Amino acid sequence: MPSASDLAAADVPAPDRARTALRAARVVGLLALVGAVLAFPGLAPDPFILSVGVVIMSYAVLATSWNFVGGFTGYISLGHASYAGLGGYATALLVLHTGLNPWVALLLGGAAVAAIAVPVGIASLRVRGASFVIVSLALVLILLLVFQSWSEVTGGSNGLRLPRPFGEDVPRPEQHARFFYLHGVLLAVALLCWWAIDRSRFGTGLKAIREDEDKAQALGVPTFRYKLIAFVLSALFTALGGGLYALWFGFLDPIFQFSILTGSYMVLMSLLGGLRSLFGPALGAVIVGYAMEYFKNEYGDTQIHLVALGLLLGAVVLFMPDGIIPALGSLVNRFRPRTTSIREVTQAELGERRAGDEQEVSR
């Protein structure tokens, strides 16, 4: 004889049970992901692997930060390395020339870059498509020339060296572990902000801009203001990621800080994982970051890692244009119970309801 719990479960429609199971799976997956991140420094077999984890986490921060613009508005920026570089130099110069606490300098540097991004966004967001890409690239090249030439302040081609924020007495492996967790906290804040925007009226307006900006403007969406806010938020988190990486690495070089490849990596990571998904850029950062470090470790200073990344980008565009996470989501949807706007009722269920109604009337 069926129990009460079995009867209660039978009363729940199959689509509702599927949604509940999916939510539970997401919660379990999120907890497992958090647990893996927290456990990684303790499980890393050596300091090199731990340093690779820091690099991958830094890429995840940058790609997620880029996704505020690329994922919401559809504007493809190849010049986001400019904000990461500015964040790194702003943090370093504040520490070296004012003696500020490194963490205060990091926050002030990020705020300064966000302030700089306002006029840059006002100028660049007036164009679209390929014109916006060219403007973003031009900014990186201009900053590269400026910071190379301004050697009295930036160190020029000789670079700029930063003191360790935790002191010289802390071993390098412990430094790696601490910065891994700090990058994880920054990534969590960026993901939470992206998630909140995605479910807000502001996020709906940004998605309307992505789908058809002219129609969105005709419907009353303040398109330019929305784009500018997303652009400044993206620059802020990118600058914080660049500043945190600079504090960990301890050395700044204009050629590395303002590299066009860095912006290209952000785009590739987001495309690979899923441009419009929450965890897509972070997943892409894990894959691309690990692949780059593997090829660099195996083949040294050769450019084979660039060839591999080019092939990876081509494969993504050809076979998974929406990214890994959307592709997996589409695969899961094929096995979900199909839902209809009006729930179908069988003849047996109708008979049971009528019998129940007759009993109520007889009472």
pLDDT digits (tens, 9 = 90+) for 38-50: 899 988 888 889 9
* Cα 199 to Cα 196, 203, 334, distances in angstroms: 5, 6, 25
Query: Per-residue confidence at 314, pLDDT binned at 50, 70, 90?
Result: confident
Query: Per-residue confidence at 340, pLDDT binned at 50, 70, 90?
Result: very low
pLDDT reported for residue 341: 46
pLDDT reported for residue 342: 45
pLDDT reported for residue 317: 74
pLDDT tens-place string over residues 259-275: 988 998 999 899 888 88
Query: Per-residue confidence at 22, pLDDT binned at 50, 70, 90?
Result: low
One-letter amino acid of 165: P
Q: Is the pLDDT of residue 351 over 70?
A: no
pLDDT tens-place string over residues 120-151: 999 999 998 888 999 999 999 999 999 999 88
pLDDT reported for residue 323: 82
Query: Per-residue confidence at 313, pLDDT binned at 50, 70, 90?
Result: confident
Across 300-310, b (16+ Cβ under 10 Å) vs e yields eeeeebeebbe
Residue listed under structure tokens 């060219």? 134
Q: Name the percent of the chain in helix, strand, coil, to the closest 5.
A: 80, 0, 20
Q: Is the pLDDT of residue 358 over 80?
A: no
Q: Is the pLDDT of residue 332 over 60?
A: yes
User: Mean of the pLDDT values across residues 80-92?
Assistant: 95
Rounded Cα distance between 56 and 269, Å, is 11
Decide: 282 and 60 in contact? Cβ < 8 Å. yes
Considering only residues 158 and 188, tell me which one the structure prediction assigns the higher pLDDT. Answer: 188
Least confident of 84-88, 173-177, 203-207, 297-301: 297-301
Query: Per-residue confidence at 8, pLDDT binned at 50, 70, 90?
Result: very low
Q: Is the pLDDT of residue 346 over 90?
A: no
Decide: 279 and 285 in contact? Cβ < 8 Å. no
Pairing label, strands 160-161, 251-252 = antiparallel
User: Mean of the pLDDT values across residues 149-177?
Assistant: 87
pLDDT reported for residue 17: 66
Decide: 299 and 305 in contact? Cβ < 8 Å. yes
Average pLDDT for the chain = 85
pLDDT reported for residue 251: 92
Q: Is the pLDDT of residue 5 over 60?
A: no
DSSP for 122-161?
HHHTTS-HHHHHHHHHHHHHHHHHHHHH-HHHH-GGG-EE
Q: Is the pLDDT of residue 245 over 70?
A: yes
User: Mean of the pLDDT values across residues 311-316?
Assistant: 79
